Structure 1
Amino acid sequence: MDQVTKILDRLLALHPKEIDLSLGRMHRLLAALGHPERRLPPVIHIAGTNGKGSVTATMRAILEASGKRCHVYTSPHLVSFNERIRLGSDGRFVSDPVLYEALHRCEEANGGEEITFFEITTAAALLLFAEHSADVLLLEVGLGGRLDATNVIDHPLATVITPVSMDHEKFLGDDLAAIAAEKAGIIKPDAPVICAAQEDDALKTITRQAARNRAPLKVFGQDFVAQADQGRMAFQDEDELIDLPLPVLGGRHQFANAGLAIAALKAAGLLPDAAVITQGLKSVNWPGRLQPITHGDLVEMCPEGSEIWLDGGHNPGAGLSIAQFMGEQEERAPRPLYLVAGMLTTKDPVGFFRPFDGLVRHVGTVPILSTTTGRTPEELADLASCAGLEATPFQTLDAALADVAACAARDGEAPRILICGSLYLAGEVLARSGLAPA
């Protein structure tokens, strides 16, 4: 076991709960570290239920195309913990030696006190971001916002709130207004807020919080829009219309994500000209989100001509977006759609699966090997059935894919396969396929 894995295991044992939302422990540790959160590059803070990673990846691509150096903090990771921390000094994920040193310093400064894994690793990230040079820090919230470990930034350049939907109800509240209030907790005095289109209850809550903080608010669909226009994407706000290429990430929802990214950079005073935006949009990369899998052993297991997609979305809002995309693929090139799904016990499988009713021929449910909090295939198959889908449990991913192959051979049709339901499962697939993020 390497040094980084050993120290991550030790840090995981410092608190009996994986999630315990509070800022007190963060403030204590950051003070012991000399307040790295006060020495960061200018910050854009991103919260929301779905789309945070895509918006962040798009902002990063545009900023780097303009010559800016970006620190980036995202979670969770797909294959390696290092993916959570990208250092703008070289544009790469943090190396093992640099990560280990930062984690070790945080472990020593913490002195064995109770603190969650996400809190102490976020402190390590902030330490690295303070001590390595960059022009901008793109800081993604882990869970919620108001009490999230990242919410120690007093003066962000801008805050972004992506679509808010039901997720993590145990921690954030059991209705949309309560969840939106937690997400809106990152809004700071006078810092512009760029907000996705929201359901009424969520938007009212976010609007009130922005008003309390005198934070200028711009909302997708009201103050700006990004939409398809004759095979291109048009971004328009009250100032200008920008003609741009289509998003490279799959799904209709990526127009809104690209629009949020562009509007946020504009609000932060960092938006380059259209030619540079175009260059950036063409280079956006965000693995595990409607990602085609075109090589590796899983492809070899599937019938010739199969179309394989991977997505780590895991809540009802994500299910709706993914199902819309799969519906568009069916209109483009009809073929039978099979889901291979694994999900955590903390997620809502019925809400995730329901948008696929009438679209999917069969669901194969599988265990997730990289976590102890996954649902059993049997339980997940029952819940998929509750959503109106025909489902069968399998004990391995390989067995589920072999069943798809058998069905395809019987029917004489090359299938469309979507492996979905969890970022943990997405990470396992990418690791097996030799497609770990870089």
Structure 2
Amino acid sequence: MGLHPKGYDLSLDRIRRLLDVLGNPQTRLPPVIHVAGTNGKGSATAFCRALLEAQGLSVHVHTSPHLVRWHERYRIGVKGGAGRLVADELFADALRRVADANGGKPITVFEILTAVTFILFSEQPADVAIIEVGLGGRFDATNVIEKPAVSIIQPISLDHQAYLGDRVELIAAEKAGIMKRGAPVVIGHQEFDGAKDVLISTAERLGCPLTVFSQDFLGYEEFGRLVYQDEFGLMDLPLPRLPGRHQIGNAATAIRAVKAAGFPVTDQIAEKAMLSVEWPGRLQRLTDGALVDHAPVGAEIWLDGGHNPGAGEVIAEAMAAMEEKQARPLHLIVGMINTKDPIGYFRAFTDIAHDVYTVPILGSDVGLDPVALAQSAAEAGLKALPMSSVGEALEAIRIRSADSAPPRIMIGGSLYLAGNVLAQNGSIPT
């Protein structure tokens, strides 16, 4: 991070040059499931991994960003079991080789890490690789994969406007850049018709076998179960282990994508996957740890790294659903970076949150000042108070809740903050 710029180089020239020196490892990967979208990329990745591992396959997984440790970006597949985060020695060796191949030329951190992905995933045997896009799609460093087994496009909304455009149609065009001529495409739930139209027209122009959520396949809740439906019939499944109604659509998209990639999904496989899927930092419940000890006794504490208005709406819906089942006062603890839309994020919680405590993001030079962030919350119609840390915010909620029912606390606004919380709480992803 000290040697290379943290920004994005929205072209493929540098990564192609670097991979050429390395012998083009991206051409020697197992079948690839390539995942793009504004929200829900990580959840779709987690469901695909669970569905594939449930049938005994070895699955490499690339995600970004990491929450606590860089190693989280690379899960190395294990035949017949759950994959493991990359070993330190293997990771260090790949990084050294990329540095040598680059020879001191200008390069971004993400381009380096993407080259590491292709080295690791080409040299360690596996049945399939799931590769999540970093930013956008068309010029993302991962987009040198020539023929994915399937491309998934998850929900698209406004985010990274400085890089991708200020309308969902423009952002959709960038995300659609991962589609490759003739390769299957699965489009997940899209809130905006304009975005969906762009994705469909791009897939049709490229001659991609296409399936679209709500048109060609469905996922919905019925009688406390997940019902998945496509042209092959119905599956009656348990609700996903990941909480939130939005995960039903993510699960359905993953089931359809794994099928489109040529892997079987039986009822038994899907049921096992729904019960085993995991994805840290996304509506993750914290039940014990160093930070949790600061909270009121009996408090329900949730952590989610969603950071844009679309994510705010999904999280708020999940909180509202929890409120229907068990009423508790909802307190928010939020930290954000300065490239996001805090007012848009906070508006989703206007009718359900009791108050907001804004906090800094440790180790980030782009975190919003808690005072400025509290002002944004106030502009969205919420009572807000700046704090110096998550621990201090939890203490304040504990004092304020001393004479009332145990509260529900949602900590969020940034994946970087989620990483801070997991590290401080002693809940490091494995």
Q: TM-score range by the shorter chain?
A: over 0.9
2:28 equivalent to 1:39: yes
Counterpart in the other structure of 1:5 = none
User: Are 2:314 and 1:321 aligned?
Assistant: yes
Q: Secondary structure at the match of 1:75?
A: coil
> How many residue pairs get matched?
426
Distance 2:269 2:257 in 1: 16
Q: Tell me which residue corresponds to 2:240.
A: 247
Q: Which residue of 2 aligns with 1:117?
A: 109
Q: Please, which of 37, 62, 72 is the counterpart of residue 73 of structure 1?
A: 62
| Aligned residue number for residue 180 of structure 1 | 172
Structure 2 Cα separation of the partners of residues 121 and 231 of structure 1: 41
Equivalent positions of 1:199-210 (< 5 A) are 199-210=192-203
The partner residue of 2:91 within 93, 99, 105 is 99
* Of 344, 351, 360, the match for 1:358: 351
CA distance in 2: counterparts of 1:320 and 1:194, whole angstroms: 23
Mapped contact 1:14–1:113 kept (Cα < 8 A): no
Which residue is equivalent to 1:20? Answer: 9
Structure 2 residues without counterparts, runs of 5 or longer: none
Equivalent pair of 1:89/1:132 in contact (CA under 8 Å): no
Q: Determine the C-alpha separation between the residues in 2 that align with 1:22 and 1:236.
A: 39
The alpha-carbon deviation at position 88 of structure 1 amounts to 1.1
* 2:305 corresponds to which of 288, 309, 312: 312
State the one-letter code of the partner of 1:196: G
CA distance in 1, matches of 2:373, 2:327: 27
SS in structure 1 opposite 2:105? coil
1:63 to 46, 52, 72: 52
Shift of 1:238: 1.6
Shift of 1:258: 0.1
Which residue, 126, 137, 145 being the options, matches 2:137? 145
Structure-2 separation of matches of 1:157 and 1:298 = 42
Shift of 1:229: 1.6
Which residue matches 1:267? Answer: 260
Amino acid in structure 2 at the alignment position of 1:395: S
Cα drift, residue 271 of structure 1: 2.5
Verify: 1:189 aligned to 2:174, yes or no: no
Q: 2:76 aligns with which of 76, 87, 91?
A: 87
Which segment is superposed worse, 372-381 or 87-96?
Answer: 87-96
Q: Secondary structure, in 3 states, of the residue corresponding to 1:194?
A: strand
Question: 1:415: which partner in 2?
Answer: 407
Report the Cα offset of residue 89 of structure 1.
4.2
Paired with 2:99 and 2:195, the residues of 1 have a C-alpha distance of: 38
Distance, in Å, in 2 between the alignment partners of 1:20 and 1:385 is: 36
1:395 aligns with 2:388: yes
Measure how far apart 1:122 and its partner are: 0.6
Contact 2:302 2:409 in 1 (8 A): yes
- Aligned residue type for 2:66: H
Residue identity in the other structure for 1:248: R
> Is the 1:14–1:112 Cα contact (8 Å) retained in structure 2?
no
TM normalised by structure 2 equals 0.97
Distance 1:14 1:433 in 2: 30
CA distance in 1, matches of 2:104, 2:172: 34
2:338 aligned with 1:345? yes
AA aligned opposite 2:228: F
Detail structure 1 runs of 4+ shifted over 3 Å in the superposition: none
- Consecutive unaligned residues of structure 1, counting only runs of 5 or more, are 1-8
Amino acid at match of 1:22: S
**SS of residue in 1 equivalent to 2:429:** coil
Whether the aligned pair in 2 keeps the contact of 1:262 and 1:271 (CA below 8 Å) is no
TM-score (norm 1): 0.96
